[in-house]
Amino acid sequence: IFHNMATRYYCIALACCVFAGVEVLYAQKDPIPRHVDLARKPEQENLNVFDQWIRWNNPGSLLINHLTKQAFEHYAIRDQEIARLATRNDWTTRQQLVRKKLMEIVGPFPEKTPLNPRITGVLKKDGYKVEKIIYESMPGFYVSACLFIPDGIKKKAPAVLNLIGHEQESFRAELDQVIILNLVKKGIVVLAIDPLGQGEHVQYYDPEVKFSSIGYSVVEHCYFGNQCFLSGSSSARYFLWDGIRAIDYLVTRKEVDSEKIGVTGFSGGGTVTSYLG
């Protein structure tokens, strides 16, 4: 029995080694002979095959540690490449390389089709109004949004697309309202859109519980993110495309100066902002 158990643990250790890419693994190399006196003290013969396996002592972290190691190796390569950039041409070439890689990872984007925007309601506030808007970033794929328009606009005004972090209520959260209204008070038109899985843009809505059947925003992101990966796509494609089409909508508004459109975002919205740039 002990002989079989030792062999089994050794096989498990080897399997973990192959899976995680571990270079060195300490284990019992030879099977335990049948005549071993099990009454002897433990220090005379250590039967624990994982005793010196310090680096991978938490099985739950095997994969994440392996991937993190790979990520840091790529970060180091990137730092070396950035350090060599000296001229404008160097940076322009780097820009083209990064753009090409991002398009390979995230794209291809679909063709631009009619937005079919609809204003479903208007709220009059002190010093501004809010238009409730729905547009189609792709045919049949609806994005919910609100356009905040300052009072007293006499000429085309600058506009900002505000992208939201992982708050479940999206731009309706107090934190995001502070950002939006500060911009509005400066005479800027603000378009705030619901990210996928948040606000009124929940992807797995269950009418019985009146909430997502999957979970709150981050859980939904992980869920449809896995579906995208399995189909050879990326969830980033949808976040970015919703933002690109939001800018297309801003350009159509008579209140907006199409030469002065900016994007801002907090947390996850900041990530999408940098990608949109």
CB 109 within 8 A of CB 241: yes
CA 189 to chain CA centroid, nearest Å:
27
Residue 26: the pLDDT is 40
Show the tokens assigned to 112.
């631009």
| Burial of residue 207 (number of CB atoms within 10 Å: 0-12, 13-18, 19+) | exposed
Q: What is the pTM of this model?
A: 0.71
Beta-carbon contacts of residue 34 (< 8 Å; ≥ 6 apart) = 3
Beta-carbon contacts of residue 67 (< 8 Å; ≥ 6 apart) = none
Would you give per-residue pLDDT tens digits along the chain (277 residues)?
Answer: 334 444 443 343 433 433 344 444 444 445 545 554 555 555 667 776 666 655 556 777 888 888 999 999 999 999 999 999 999 999 999 999 999 998 888 878 899 999 999 999 999 999 999 999 999 999 999 999 999 999 988 899 999 999 998 888 999 999 899 999 999 999 999 999 999 988 899 888 889 988 888 888 888 988 888 998 898 888 999 999 999 999 999 999 999 999 999 999 989 999 999 988 8
